Structure 1
Amino acid sequence: MTVTECDLERDRALIVETLARHLTPQSDEARFDWLYMRNPAGRARAWVARDRDTRQVIGMAAAFPRLIDVGEERIAGWILGDFCIAGYARSLGPALTLQRACLEVVESGAGTVCYDFPSQQMMAVFRRLGIGAFKDVIRWAKPVRVDRKVTERLGESFLSSGACVVGNLALRVVDRIRKTDTGLDIAVRDAPCDDEFSKWSQEVAAPSWILLARSPEYLNWRYRSHPLVPVEIVTARRFGKLVGYAAFHRTGHDGVIADVCGGTDWSVSQALVDSLIALFRERGVSTISAHLVDGHPASPVFEACGFHPRERIPLVVHVSQKRPDLGHAVHTLDWLIMSGDRDT
């Protein structure tokens, strides 16, 4: 097997086809343009693995650039993704070779850190490369309507309809009792993010945090321009001034809070989460989920809003050997990672 880096312009069709065949049916030209070419942090890098004899493509992997604020330093980093291997070639050898090529993007000087959210199968690959799980990312979940669960157990009947009314009312009352008035104006934002978001981000930056740089260009690309998922943004304002925002979307009966940023004033984050609970409930969502890295400073906010921890997935972080000082910061500062910080 041989591994070579792709030319994104020349190999566009090859990448789209390989991903559609071995990873996701959602792979198309629109996804490629958005994810690989239009990222405001720069273009992606991709590698393909070929059978040495037939030259047939048997897998690929990619790295997507991110600007990351590590305390008071902004660094260039990468998130790994779009890793796939043909079913007949899924042995440890090809996976190791491909993943090693991705990690070289850090050691080559093109960035200083990369991270990934691997499956349990991929964790075996990382362990063979000497990289263990850094932290877990936890899915926090909250039921806001009981209709789906009741119907699954009782079917559609007069009895189930009555149970749904009582159950939904109970959930709504609990949230109303807990909710406090913060004096914030919270509303869905229809316009693109602008320089106001840059100014706010600079004002609330904390030297003890590690988080992705959230420029308006990044927010508009990551959320408003997403070709597959219609992501919306709500803003929180106090006397007209932006003090926080959240990004969210819906998949069927399930709602997802992809990003919550309220600075160091956690009452702002809680008000944003409360507003999304009410919004999702009115839109008929059954369950709301939010993925937060273990130890995320906002975890108590979600717990206070009635969310409960569910399954976990590993977070892997690899730091360039040329930056041992950065490695120390990575292990001591607070990571603010949510599902919005993934590749797609």
Structure 2
Amino acid sequence: MAIVIRDAELKRDRQVMMDCLLRNRQRYEKNDTFEQRFDWAYSGNPYGEGRAWLAVDEAANKVIGFTSAFPRRMFVNGECMIGWNCADFSIDKEYRTLGAAMKLRRAAKLCVDRGEFAFLYAHPNDRMRVVHEKVGHHAIGKMVRYAALLRLDQTLGAKLGNNPVAKVSAALANPLLRLMSPRRSGLDKFQFSLAQEQRFGEEYDRLFEKVKHQHSVIGSRDTEYLNWRFLRNPLYRAKSLRMQQDGELKGYVLYYEGNGIARVADAIVEGKSDEIGILLAGLIHHL
């Protein structure tokens, strides 16, 4: 069967792309929430609309998969440019061969080769690693996930059942767990506060103007991006842990909660490894 790739037109092809996502991906969100996410991500991005490519089975005349990329303002060695972040990738099960996946990913990469995109990047994904490598992507860094156990309610509930014994055990164990957690030195140099921001203010812009010079490559965290990415996101609304010194914002963690888990969505700090450690220790202390 011949699979051809064509550029998507977001308004015209929105429904076939949504249908492809919904039938191929298991998500916890309701369908209407996931559709809101589609419009937010593809059309609401402050840096411009997303791009997408459709895989079409010519014989059946149907869309069997697609991939997309979203624009992101980046600073590379201090120079501002628009990079493109590889985003949704969805293919119907009966067409999941290396060939179809490579055709889709290559369509996005060709935009870089033709000079339409400054560069294209993707987050680590073991299932896509072979595809990325075969079309010419190269690993440039490592992403490591960390977890910290803050309370034992869920763990004991899973082992003992949802009963009074588990609840009493958790009530006794949680303070001990907190005492056993290592305390990071330097916490007393900063003031920490939890906030549900209604709008990210100018202090976030001022912080990023300082932080962007600490990194050779960094994605913009200006308030335009932060308000869109973390406050208008239909999947979750992030909370902020602010780290201040003498009334000046020195760093922050953006996180969201669900099912007893707090997930860090972004973190930025003025300084280096010691300061990021203090920032994350502050989050653990305040949760």
Structure-2-length-normalised TM-score: 0.88
**Aligned with 1:78 (options 81, 84, 109):** 84
1:21 paired residue number: 23
Residue 6 in structure 1 maps to residue 12 in structure 2: no
1:224 paired residue number: 231
Alignment partners' CA distance in 1, 2:213 and 2:178: 35
8 Å contact from structure 1 (residues 23, 82) kept in 2: no
Alignment partners' CA distance in 2, 1:105 and 1:170: 55
8 Å contact from structure 1 (residues 70, 211) kept in 2: yes
Deviation of the 1:189 alpha carbon: 4.1
1:273-312 matches, cutoff 5 A: 273-280=280-287
Deviation of the 1:251 alpha carbon: 2.4
Structure 1, residues 187-207: CA drift from partner, whole Å, max 9, x if none?
A: 314330133322221123335
8 Å contact from structure 1 (residues 200, 242) kept in 2: yes
**Aligned with 1:242 (options 238, 246, 249):** 249
Deviation of the 1:62 alpha carbon: 0.1
Aligned partner letter, 2:231? R
2:93 paired residue number: 87
8 Å contact from structure 1 (residues 50, 56) kept in 2: yes
Alignment partners' CA distance in 2, 1:16 and 1:225: 20
Aligned partner letter, 1:68? M
Distance 1:184 1:164, change over 3 A: same
**Aligned with 1:47 (options 53, 56, 72):** 53
1:321 paired residue number: none
Alignment partners' CA distance in 2, 1:3 and 1:87: 17
Alignment partners' CA distance in 1, 2:183 and 2:126: 40
1:117 paired residue number: 123
Deviation of the 1:158 alpha carbon: 5.7
Q: Could you tell which deviates more after superposition, 45-54 or 142-151? A: 142-151
1:1-344 matches, cutoff 5 A: 1-25=3-27, 26=29, 28-156=34-162, 160-175=166-181, 177-178=183-184, 180-264=187-271, 268-280=275-287
8 Å contact from structure 1 (residues 197, 216) kept in 2: yes
Alignment partners' CA distance in 1, 2:250 and 2:204: 9
Alignment partners' CA distance in 1, 2:215 and 2:38: 35
Q: Number of matched residues?
A: 280
1:288 paired residue number: none
8 Å contact from structure 1 (residues 3, 49) kept in 2: yes
Q: Which runs of 4+ in 1 moved over 6 A?
A: none
8 Å contact from structure 1 (residues 243, 268) kept in 2: no
Structure with higher RCO (Cα < 8 A, 6+ apart): 1
8 Å contact from structure 1 (residues 236, 268) kept in 2: no
Aligned partner letter, 1:255? A
Alignment partners' CA distance in 2, 1:46 and 1:6: 5
SS of residue in 2 equivalent to 1:83: strand
Distance 1:183 1:89, change over 3 A: closer
Structure 1, residues 71-110: CA drift from partner, whole Å, max 9, x if none?
A: 2122210110110110011111111100100112222223
Alignment partners' CA distance in 1, 2:248 and 2:204: 10
Aligned alpha-carbon RMSD (Å): 2.3
Aligned partner letter, 1:8? L
Distance 1:53 1:174, change over 3 A: same
Alignment partners' CA distance in 1, 2:169 and 2:184: 23
Deviation of the 1:211 alpha carbon: 1.4
Determine what percentage of the aligned residue pairs are the same residue.
29
SS of residue in 2 equivalent to 1:257: strand
SS of residue in 2 equivalent to 1:134: coil
Deviation of the 1:118 alpha carbon: 4.8
